[in-house]
Amino acid sequence: MSQMRWALSDYQTIVQQELTHLVRQPSLIAWQLGSPIVMVLLFVFVFGSAMDIGGGADFTSFAMPGMFAMTMAFGFMNTAMSVAIYKEKGFIDRFRSMPMAPSAVVTGRGVSDLIHAALDLVVLALIALAIGWRSDGGLAATLFAFGLLLWLRFALIWIGVWIGLKVKNQEAAGNLFALAFPFGMISSVFTPPSLMPDWLGAIAMWNPVSSTANAVRELFGNPVPLGGSWIEQNAMLMAVTWPALITLVFLPLAVRKYQSLGR
Amino acid sequence: MDYSIYAEGLRKRYGDKVALDGLDLAVAPGTVLGLLGPNGAGKTTSVRILATLLRFDSGTARVAGLDVRSNARQVRQRIGLTGQSMAVDDVLTARENLVMFGKLFHIGKSAARQRADELLAQFGLTDVAGKPPQTFSGGMRRRLDLAASMILAPQVLFLDEPTTGLDPRGRMEVWDAVRSLTAQGTTVLLTTHYLDEADQLSDRIVVIDHGRAIADDTPAGVKRAIGGDRVEVVALRPDDVDAIASVVARVGEPVVEELRVHAAVTDRVGSLTTVARDLQEKGLDVEDIGVRRPTLDEAFLKLTEKVTV
Ligand SMILES: Nc1ncnc2c1ncn2[C@@H]1O[C@H](COP(=O)(O)OP(=O)(O)O)[C@@H](O)[C@H]1O
Ligand SMILES: [Mg+2]
């Protein structure tokens, strides 16, 4: 069998294992979506009335794309966690002692996380529709927007894998939430950076999550309260570029970390 | 002779910490080597090196006649590994677990299913084939874990502390499973920190401490070296000690330590019976009487003393 087919068959097996998990434990999805959903309800119904994002724009339409982007951003935690569990339970050792494609474990996880993320988006979009969010961008633009969201998630898989291989155990991976939270929140997800103090606003603008959130707002035809800065004006470009850069840096790091586990 | 596992002068350090300090091992085909040592002795490090998971600093390591460094891939086709933690998927069923590993070994879908059923039968798991390991006892989980490492019927199997954390019943189940493997001719390297486990399962025992072999012998030889079982009597009064010593002398060379009199024995029940009966005949009551095995700590003390003296 050629190397490529060998590796593809390994991906298929790992992905199938993941999907079986999802089917047997649908509560996993509910659990993982719990926090963004609670956050949405809080923001839209509790703070929403007090939130003025300027220009008379509707907060729900502004916040939903932000929530999609935030869920993608927090997703790397799931990847890190599952890789850490894999490692702790000795799966990675067993896989490495088998004659399987060396990168299949790492990339197989990535592929199944992406499928997982797509399911997350479907559920979130349904909830958003239920509370009044709409996409006015047409089918192609809407699909492209979801593509951009998955593109961000794809890039973050490699950060997740890298972290998951690096941390000692799953508790350590769980503690990363302290890191993930500001990464998701100091962005344009729920508040326009122009309303933040200057220094914080600058960080928020350059946060890759903001670029994706703003780009999909544009594509959905939702309100995009943009400032005049270059990074905000070029959200679409950066929503494509940021994940590419992240992948370029962290994919090799993750693969290298996997290969160096034996040192 | 062509050894199934051969290591010479293995050295491995993690930063400043020396984990293996020139370890030698030689395991003949179809035999079981018990690698016995306390926590931190270097057992897991040895297994990981031999199972191609860990690089080492110097020395030679061959498994199934192949160099683990230069022929890692071929080695992997000939070995099975059961690590310290049980690598089974708790959500998949027992059977699905084995089929998954079978597919990862690229034996083909239908062969994977067939092999899964064979292994479930061999390890006594047929009845629970459709249940997830979440619901299993420790012994059952470990047997499934063992089955997963046996998919390719490997020539060489590494078992890293397979019974640590199991209850006595689970240990027995795993011991039986290991015996059934060795009956089929699999070469096994088993690590443990239980002397009785190494004794029960191995043809040869290597005792390691601080990354070095401090004994390499048959189980009988190791037990002899560390003193084996002892009959021990504790006197009620200092005045009784001499009389007790003369009774104990009937079963072995008595050693007197204050109120304690003990002697090395081989026939555990016989010698205890003799001593107890004679004490009764002489009307000697005692504080305590029994057969003791040296704890692993005492064994190590003894073996390390031998090395350093
Ligand atoms: N990844 C590691 N980094 C640093 N030290 C380690 C690492 N793994 C093991 N050690 C050390 O190497 C020694 C041998 O460990 P190990 O082989 O796990 O022992 P055992 O399995 O016999 O308990 C121990 O002192 C342990 O602390
Ligand atoms: Mg160990």
Q: Is the pLDDT of residue B120 over 70?
A: yes
Query: Does the distance separating the beta carbons of B53 and A97 come in below 8 Å?
Result: yes
Instruction: Please state the CATH superfamily assignment of the domain spanning residues B5-224 in this structure.
Output: P-loop containing nucleotide triphosphate hydrolases (3.40.50.300)
What residue in B sits closest to A262 (Cα-Cα)? B54
Q: Is the pLDDT of residue B309 over 50?
A: no
Residue-wise pLDDT for A47-63, tens only, equals 776 677 766 678 888 88
Expressed in angstroms and rounded, the spacing between residue B45 Cα and the centre of ligand 1 is 6
Measured distance CA(A184)–CA(A209) in Å, rounded:
7
- B12, two tokens: 């491995």
Question: Which of the ligands is closest to the CA of residue B49?
Answer: 1
- Report strand pairing: B5-14 vs B58-63: antiparallel
The predicted model gives B32-38 an average pLDDT of 94
Measuring CA to CA, which residue among B221, B186, B228, B187 is closest to residue B206? B221
Which residue ranges have their beta carbon within 6 Å of ligand 1? B 14, 17, 19, 37, 39-45
The confidence score (pLDDT) of residue B1 equals: 60
Answer yes or no: are the C-beta atoms of A224 and A214 closer than 8 Å. yes
The confidence score (pLDDT) of residue A153 equals: 95
- Residue A18: other Cβ atoms inside 10 A: 19
Answer yes or no: are the C-beta atoms of B76 and A97 closer than 8 Å. yes
Facing residues of B62 across strands?
Answer: B6, B67
Give the H/E segment covering residue B207.
Answer: strand B204-209
Q: Is the pLDDT of residue A84 over 80?
A: yes
Residue-wise pLDDT for A4-19, tens only, equals 788 788 888 888 888 8
- The b-or-e profile of A65-86 (16+ CB within 10 A means b, else e) is bbbbbbbbbbbbbbbbbbbbeb
Q: Tell me B295's DSSP state.
A: P
The identity of residue A111, as a single letter, is V
Answer yes or no: are the C-beta atoms of A124 and A67 closer than 8 Å. yes
- Residue A231: other Cβ atoms inside 10 A: 18
- Report strand pairing: B156-160 vs B58-63: unpaired
Give just the sign of the alpha carbon dihedral A154, A159, A162, A167.
negative
Q: Where are the alpha helices (DSSP H) in chain B?
A: 43-50, 72-76, 94-104, 109-122, 138-149, 168-183, 195-201, 219-225, 241-248, 268-281, 296-308
- Report the atom number in ligand 1 closest to the C-alpha of B20: 14
Domain ranges within chain A, ordered by starting residue: 2-48+59-260
**Which numeric CATH code is attached to B230-292?**
3.30.70
The predicted model gives B90-98 an average pLDDT of 95
Query: Does the distance separating the beta carbons of B104 and A96 come in below 8 Å?
Result: no
Among candidates A17, A93, A99 on the partner chain, residue whose Cβ is nearest the Cβ of B81: A93
Q: Tell me A33's DSSP state.
A: H
Distance from CA of B27 to the nearest CA of A (A): 20
Q: Is the pLDDT of residue B216 over 90?
A: yes
Q: Is the pLDDT of residue A129 over 70?
A: yes
Cβ-Cβ contacts under 8 Å, B76 against chain A = 97-99
Least confident of A165-179, B195-209, B232-246: A165-179
The identity of residue B248, as a single letter, is V
Answer yes or no: are the C-beta atoms of B12 and B56 closer than 8 Å. yes
Kindly indicate the confidence band of residue B307, based on its pLDDT and cuts at 50, 70 and 90: low
| Nearest CA residue ID for atom 2, ligand 1 | B14
A148 or A92, which is more confident: A148
Q: What percent of chain B has pLDDT over 70?
A: 97
Expressed in angstroms and rounded, the spacing between residue B7 Cα and the centre of ligand 2 is 18
The confidence score (pLDDT) of residue A1 equals: 55
A27 in contact with B at a CB cutoff of 8 Å? Answer: no
Burial class (CB in 10 A: 0-12, 13-18, 19+), B28: middle
Kindly indicate the confidence band of residue B306, based on its pLDDT and cuts at 50, 70 and 90: low
Among candidates A17, A94, A261 on the partner chain, residue whose Cβ is nearest the Cβ of B87: A94
Q: What percent of chain A has pLDDT over 70?
A: 95
Measuring CA to CA, which residue among B239, B288, B295 is closest to residue B262? B288
The predicted model gives B4-27 an average pLDDT of 96
Distance from CA of B78 to the nearest CA of A (A): 9
- Report strand pairing: B5-14 vs B212-217: unpaired
The identity of residue B201, as a single letter, is L
Measuring CA to CA, which residue among B125, B230, B228 is closest to residue B177? B125
Least confident of A211-215, A241-245, B223-227: B223-227
Measuring CA to CA, which residue among B299, B51, B292 is closest to residue B193? B299
The confidence score (pLDDT) of residue B211 equals: 94
List all residues of chain B from 156 to 215 with a beta carbon under 8 Å from chain A: none
Q: Tell me B290's DSSP state.
A: E
Domain ranges within chain B, ordered by starting residue: 5-224, 230-292
Measured distance CA(B105)–CA(B119) in Å, rounded:
15
Measuring CA to CA, which residue among B221, B220, B146, B131 is closest to residue B176? B146
Least confident of A30-34, A86-90, A129-133, A244-248: A30-34
Burial class (CB in 10 A: 0-12, 13-18, 19+), B185: exposed
Kindly indicate the confidence band of residue A44, based on its pLDDT and cuts at 50, 70 and 90: confident
Q: Is the pLDDT of residue B49 over 90?
A: yes
A10 in contact with B at a CB cutoff of 8 Å? Answer: yes
Cβ-Cβ contacts under 8 Å, B165 against chain A = none
Residue-wise pLDDT for A184-227, tens only, equals 888 888 888 888 888 998 899 999 999 999 999 999 998 887 77
- Which of B18, B44, B84 has most ligand 1 atoms within 8 Å of its beta carbon, as the pocket-test mutant? B44
The identity of residue B125, as a single letter, is L
Strands (E), chain A: none
Secondary structure class of B88 (helix, strand, coil): coil
Measured distance CA(B165)–CA(B161) in Å, rounded:
9
Q: Tell me B293's DSSP state.
A: P
Q: For all residues of chain A together, what is the average pLDDT?
A: 86
Expressed in angstroms and rounded, the spacing between residue B36 Cα and the centre of ligand 2 is 11
Distance from CA of B100 to the nearest CA of A (A): 7
The predicted model gives B179-196 an average pLDDT of 91
A97 in contact with B at a CB cutoff of 8 Å? Answer: yes
Give the H/E segment covering residue B23.
Answer: strand B17-27
Answer yes or no: are the C-beta atoms of B82 and B157 closer than 8 Å. yes
CA B303 to chain centre: 17
- What are the residues whose beta carbons fall under 8 Å from the beta carbon of B275, sequence distance 6 or more? B231, B233, B247, B248, B250, B251, B289
Least confident of A39-43, A76-80, B210-214: A39-43
Q: Is the pLDDT of residue B241 over 70?
A: yes
- A202, two tokens: 């600058």
Q: Tell me B45's DSSP state.
A: H
Answer yes or no: are the C-beta atoms of B223 and B212 closer than 8 Å. no
Q: Is the pLDDT of residue B40 over 70?
A: yes
The predicted model gives B275-290 an average pLDDT of 89
- The CB-side HSE value for B133 (13 A sphere, CA atoms) comes to 23
| Nearest CA residue ID for atom 14, ligand 1 | B42
Q: For all residues of chain B together, what is the average pLDDT?
A: 90
What residue in A sits closest to B145 (Cα-Cα)? A94
